[in-house]
Amino acid sequence: MTQPPAAPLTTADGVPLKVSLRRTVRRSKIKALLLVAPLLAFLFIAFLMPLFEMLWRSVDNPEVSTHLSRTVSALEGWNGESLPDEAAFAALAEDLRVGQQERNLGLLSSRLNYEKSGMRSTISRTARRVGTLEPPYRESLIEVNDTWGELDTWKLIQREASPYTISYYLAAIDRQLSPDGEIAKVPEHMQIHATLFWRTLWMSAVITGLTLVLGFPVAFLLANLPTRHSNLLMILVLLPFWTSLLVRTTTWIAILQSQGVLNDVMVALGVIADEARWQMIHNKMGTIIAMTHILLPFMILPLYSVMKTIPPSYMRAARSLGGKPFLSFRRVYFPLTIPGIAAGGILVFILSIGYYITPALVGGQSGRFITNYIAYHMQTSLNWGLAAAIASILLFVVIICYLVFNRLIGVDKVKLG
């Protein structure tokens, strides 16, 4: 016996309920999106576009293809086994002549100099004399500078004619392309970036470990004290958290430098001789001490908020079942704190590998981070492509850590004091 199909439920004005509900949901979705839209648009323009632009700059390679356009097209089809023909040399002379007139050979010569040292002076010397050169250009260019007689120079120009390059990334990990296009290590004395990457990761791990060791007992104490007392002690954690980063770095300079408070106290107490003051700053130690201090609250706060949710009765139960204190702690309490350790650990690690100010002020030569090299290439050596490549690698590492963090904890669970 089949029932006749029931009439669909409708709202008062006769629209089927399903349709009406879907319409309402869609309307509130649009409303929610409209509320978020201005902020998304703002961040897209002011933050994400700059980031993409930077990523792009790390592979962008316009110099050779724009400033040596004639040479590049003359080299098309060149097999690279012997020096190119007269046409290519003539094109080079013409490119350099135009470049010299328009005064835009600087970028080109820096770019080629990254790949082959000496190219900067080769180009500027040739460009200065190019007006007086007579054909055949092949002989006269080689006469001005031997570099034009080298096969490698021409191979380099041909290779860098491509609008994109991976050589900034290679340079960021201390590699370079050989003239034959193979990836090789740069000479030993020029290998700095890989060392700095490892040092940054290693020191950040040490700092993370130290903040955990120092922060764990404090978080435990704060979570287990009666609220009245823990609120008071919490101020001791929050005050440094809220204090300017530069203030905290300055105080460590005042305390740790060789004519500083700590050394003076040690000398006054007779622990060390006046001539044998400790060098605690402008080296690795300075960076580690100051950054541990600065990042400690970022470890304590997540640990505290996790420990706060562990009922004290668990430990009591473990004890009443005969567990010795250490065993009960290790088997019952500690495993429950692992989410907090993960949150604090990843947070401190992410913040630490991106730190710039503190290592720059108290790190000296040996306590420098990779971030200090980004700044160096941005501001001093002006090798922006390399700076962008290093920054992109660092960004990649941070994003990986962040994704792990988000997977484990969820970013909206971060408590800010």
Among 59, 336, 398, 404, binds another protein (CB under 8 A): 398
Residue 32 in the binding site for another protein (CB under 8 A): yes
Residues numbered 133 to 152 that lie near another protein (CB under 8 A) are: none
Among 10-18, 71-79, 84-92, 372-380, the segment contacting another protein (CB under 8 A): 372-380
Q: What is the C-alpha separation between 336 and 328, in angstroms, rounded?
A: 12
Residue 40 in the binding site for another protein (CB under 8 A): yes
CB of 181 to another protein, least distance (A): 29
Judged by beta carbon, residue 32 or residue 190, the one nearer another protein is 32
Among 17, 136, 217, 314, binds another protein (CB under 8 A): 217
CB of 351 to another protein, least distance (A): 8
Q: What is the C-alpha separation between 225 and 233, in angstroms, rounded?
A: 10
CB of 113 to another protein, least distance (A): 21
Judged by beta carbon, residue 24 or residue 101, the one nearer another protein is 24
CB of 174 to another protein, least distance (A): 20
- In this structure, the chain runs to a length of 417
CB of 77 to another protein, least distance (A): 36
The residue count for binding another protein (CB under 8 A) is 88
CA 121 to each of CA 90, 105, 193, 380: distance values in angstroms, whole numbers, following the listed order: 20, 11, 26, 20
CB of 354 to another protein, least distance (A): 2
Residues numbered 226 to 285 that lie near another protein (CB under 8 A) are: 233, 235-240, 242-255, 257, 259-261, 264
Residue 54 in the binding site for another protein (CB under 8 A): yes
CB of 54 to another protein, least distance (A): 4
Judged by beta carbon, residue 98 or residue 401, the one nearer another protein is 401
Among 178-186, 275-283, 337-345, 356-364, the segment contacting another protein (CB under 8 A): 356-364
